[in-house]
Chain A
Amino acid sequence: MTPAIETTNLTRRYGGTVALSNLNLTVEQGSIFGFIGPNGAGKTTTLRLLAGLLEPTGGTIRLMGQLLRPGGAQRLVGYMPDFFGVYDDLRVWEYLDFFARCYGLDGATRKRTVDELLALVDLSPKRNAFVQSLSRGMQQRLCLAHALVHNPPVLLLDEPASGLDPRARVELRELLRALREMGKTVLLSSHILSELAEVCTEIGIIESGQIVVSGSVDDVRRQLQQGSKLRIRVLRDLDTAETVLRKLANAPASSGLPYVRSVQLDLVDPRALVIELEQTDDAEQAALLTYLIGQGIAISEFRVQAENLEELFLRLTTTSA
């Protein structure tokens, strides 16, 4: 299938400052792609380039297979900026009606579209309210609805969850899932990874104008994870278990057993240990479990403790910086 978004060596400079450098990005149709990076990493520049609001200094953009030319993105993408404004003196339905008119929708289609979108973003009860009277979350949903009036295949949402309370964030996530079910491709940016991890099918981490890593959430986690951690909970004799594991850490790797870097007490659970290993696989983990049981340690829990994505992101962006 043709990718919904494909950039090749996309570059954008502001004077002498390189905001984006040779970005090669592919977003498949129907996916929700999370674009993550610290402030000033180049997320907004990328989204503005994709929306046709900026001219690339170099490289190309293809949207749904079509090479992007000035003014060519308008019917293919729906764009929601990071800091969006609303016309306070308009009523909710008038706001959507205005943008529907901008896209040249005829009267009947316009009316139907406005009704459908209000229902989609759950603002039908606020139809005749003035936009200024809406809460931040409602305005965010209204702005998202405006980006959908022309039924674009691609949605570009810049920091859609910023400034929202937890409930509004949950509602936004539900809305994004609904959009995905409608077949939309969504590219959304955030500087907070946890906002996106749950809802995105793919993520890309950008730092200083360059993509550091991209792929599915699990792929990215795997790519970023240096070594792995195991969490072991014992029924009794925690000291014995710790001693056995520390011997492994000090000894050269036995055949079949993983190399243990360190052993630490779990700060939360007094009967658990966290073991940091070199790169390991399922066979080595099974061998370790067998070895510990053979040493007479009663293990009630044995599992891989994945590093929090947030920690990975912080580590990655801090290292890059």
Chain B
Amino acid sequence: MHRFHPQPNPIIVRELRTRMRGGRPYLILSLFLVLLALTGVGVYQLMLQQTRIGVAVLSPQVGQALFKGLAFVELLLIVVLAPALTSGAVSGEREQLTYDMLLATPLQPGQLLWGKLIAALSYLLLLIFAAVPVFSVMLIFGGVDPRSLVKAVILLFATTITFGAIGLCASTLFRRTVWATAVTYGVVLLVVGGSLTLASVWGQFSSPPGQQPPPYLLYLNPFSALFAITGLAPPIDPAMSFMGYADPLGALPFIGMLAQGVIAYGPNGAVVVPIYRATFLAYPLLTVLFGWLSAHLILPYKRWHPRWSDLVFLLLVLSLLAVGYITQEWWLIAAPVQPGGWAG
């Protein structure tokens, strides 16, 4: 009998071998880049339009607008693509009748899950990296804080992994990919659209009416988090209109809709609530929880029997909770009373 030799995850090797076969991956990549480039051109044209109507537009403002536009479009594509790439990962094996053959090998369920997640997300990560040259255009104009850029990239990666983990979990739960995909997008819609809808109507149902939505409502919404990262403090002095929140000069369509719950109005004016800090903590926690669920659901039998891997998951959850507890001063935003202290 053969000896076991440690080597790269076979699932990753197989997926990487086949992922880029045929014309479709290149077509998606090309469309993705074209869409991003068109977004960049569109944003630039919108800024030019401002100058035509007599508004003075500074070069840094063009850079900021490009940053916001491109980051939002890239996040939108990730939110749409990540669940699609993972929701068929395990159910697809069941449907094409290869699942039993995999389970009959010594491949561990964890290896299978890890391999599927990495393989599926590697393509998305490729898309993110491929978009770097498009993003670099904004550096010509300046105006983007490098820290904001880093935070935006972290958010993109975190969203990719978390939304991918949601899809993977659904894929282990359902035998049919169509169900797994439907449920995954249902969850995504709930996280993104549900929280925004709730935030937008919060004031009408709050007591007394007109209250601002609590920030925790939007902790899991990646768009709100990105809005908080890319947003600037709204003008205290209306004369300095170019410092307008999130969307200088109001040039970018729809972006303002994401202000709900992120722009808070206190006695000293409006501030951007840095809810992305909670998002940065919540996403790893969610990923670990979905990973734990998937690791049990993928087992052929004795699904809920305690396993050693549960201890690892428990330690991870406890570590993240401990980090959350220690850093609560940093991420836990109580109420928008004092502007200035939260923006970061």
A binds B: yes
Residues of A that sit less than 8 Å from B by CB = 48, 51-55, 70-71, 73-75, 77, 79, 81, 83-87, 89-90, 94, 98-99, 101-107, 109, 143, 146, 150-151
Is B106 among interface residues, defined by CB-CB distance under 8 A?
Answer: yes
A85 touches B101 (CB 8 A): yes
Distance between B96 CB and nearest chain A CB, rounded to angstroms: 4
A103 touches B302 (CB 8 A): no
Q: Which of B11-19, B67-75, B196-204 contacts A (4 or more CB under 8 A)?
A: B11-19
Chain B residues near A71: list those with CB within 8 A. Answer: 106
Which listed residue, B22, B96, B102, B302, touches A102 by the CB 8 Å rule?
B102
Which listed residue, B6, B18, B105, touches A103 by the CB 8 Å rule?
B105
CA distance in complex: A105, B106 (Å): 11
Is B300 among interface residues, defined by CB-CB distance under 8 A?
Answer: yes
Which listed residue, A81, A105, A107, touches B101 by the CB 8 Å rule?
A81
Q: A55-B302, A90-B14 are in contact. Are A102 and B105 (CB under 8 A)?
A: yes
Most buried by A among B22, B101, B102: B101
Chain B residues near A54: list those with CB within 8 A. Answer: 300-301
B105 touches A87 (CB 8 A): no
CA distance in complex: A52, B100 (Å): 10
Query: Count of B residues near A, CB < 8 Å?
Result: 30
- Tell me the B98-118 residues at the A interface (CB within 8 Å): 98, 100-107
Distance between B136 CB and nearest chain A CB, rounded to angstroms: 34
Chain A residues near B300: list those with CB within 8 A. Answer: 53-54
Top 10 nearest A-B pairs (CB, nearest first) are A85-B97, A101-B10, A104-B4, A102-B105, A85-B96, A85-B98, A106-B5, A55-B301, A79-B104, A89-B18
Distance between B300 CB and nearest chain A CB, rounded to angstroms: 5
Which residue on A lies nearest to B92, using beta carbons?
A: A85
A105 touches B97 (CB 8 A): no
B2 touches A150 (CB 8 A): yes
B302 touches A98 (CB 8 A): no
Q: A98-B13, A109-B2 are in contact. Are A81 and B97 (CB under 8 A)?
A: yes
Interface class of chain A by DSSP:
loop
Which residue on A lies nearest to B305, using beta carbons?
A: A70
Is B1 among interface residues, defined by CB-CB distance under 8 A?
Answer: yes
CA distance in complex: A86, B18 (Å): 13
Distance between B251 CB and nearest chain A CB, rounded to angstroms: 44
CA distance in complex: A79, B17 (Å): 25
B100 touches A79 (CB 8 A): yes
Q: A55-B301, A70-B302 are in contact. Are A87 and B104 (CB under 8 A)?
A: no
CA distance in complex: A71, B17 (Å): 28
A77 touches B104 (CB 8 A): yes
Which listed residue, A55, A75, A101, A146, touches B7 by the CB 8 Å rule?
A101
CA distance in complex: A143, B96 (Å): 14
CA distance in complex: A87, B18 (Å): 10
CA distance in complex: A89, B15 (Å): 10
Chain A residues near B97: list those with CB within 8 A. Answer: 81, 83-85
Chain B residues near A89: list those with CB within 8 A. Answer: 18, 21-22
Given contacts A70-B301, A89-B21, A104-B6, 11 further A-B contacts (CB under 8 A): A81-B101, A83-B97, A85-B101, A89-B22, A94-B14, A94-B17, A101-B13, A102-B105, A103-B2, A104-B2, A150-B1
CA distance in complex: A107, B10 (Å): 12
Interface flags, B44-81, vs A, CB<8A=1, else 0: 00000000000000000000000000000000000000
Which residue on A lies nearest to B107, using beta carbons?
A: A102
Chain A residues near B100: list those with CB within 8 A. Answer: 48, 51, 53, 79, 81
Which listed residue, B1, B6, B103, touches A75 by the CB 8 Å rule?
B1
A104 touches B7 (CB 8 A): yes
Chain A residues near B106: list those with CB within 8 A. Answer: 71, 74-75, 102-104
CA distance in complex: A107, B300 (Å): 30
- Tell me the B126-181 residues at the A interface (CB within 8 Å): none
Most buried by B among A48, A52, A103, A107: A103
Which listed residue, B21, B101, B103, touches A146 by the CB 8 Å rule?
B101
Which residue on A lies nearest to B97, using beta carbons?
A: A85
A52 touches B1 (CB 8 A): no
Chain A residues near B105: list those with CB within 8 A. Answer: 74, 99, 102-103
Which residue on B lies nearest to A71, using beta carbons?
A: B106
Which residue on B lies nearest to A86, using beta carbons?
A: B98
Distance between A230 CB and nearest chain B CB, rounded to angstroms: 49
- Tell me the B17-31 residues at the A interface (CB within 8 Å): 17-18, 21-22
Distance between B221 CB and nearest chain A CB, rounded to angstroms: 36
Which residue on A lies nearest to B21, using beta carbons?
A: A89
Provide a sorted-by-A list of 5 A–B residue pairs whose CB atoms are within 8 angstroms.
A83-B97, A84-B98, A87-B18, A87-B96, A90-B18
Chain A residues near B102: list those with CB within 8 A. Answer: 102
CA distance in complex: A71, B302 (Å): 12
Chain B residues near A83: list those with CB within 8 A. Answer: 97
Which listed residue, A53, A84, A98, A104, touches B14 by the CB 8 Å rule?
A98
CA distance in complex: A303, B6 (Å): 64
CA distance in complex: A109, B97 (Å): 27
CA distance in complex: A90, B300 (Å): 25
Q: A102-B106, A104-B7, A106-B5 are in contact. Are A79 and B14 (CB under 8 A)?
A: no
Q: A53-B300, A106-B7 are in contact. Are A79 and B1 (CB under 8 A)?
A: no
Distance between B187 CB and nearest chain A CB, rounded to angstroms: 28
Chain B residues near A105: list those with CB within 8 A. Answer: 2, 5
Chain A residues near B8: list those with CB within 8 A. Answer: 101
Chain A residues near B1: list those with CB within 8 A. Answer: 75, 150-151
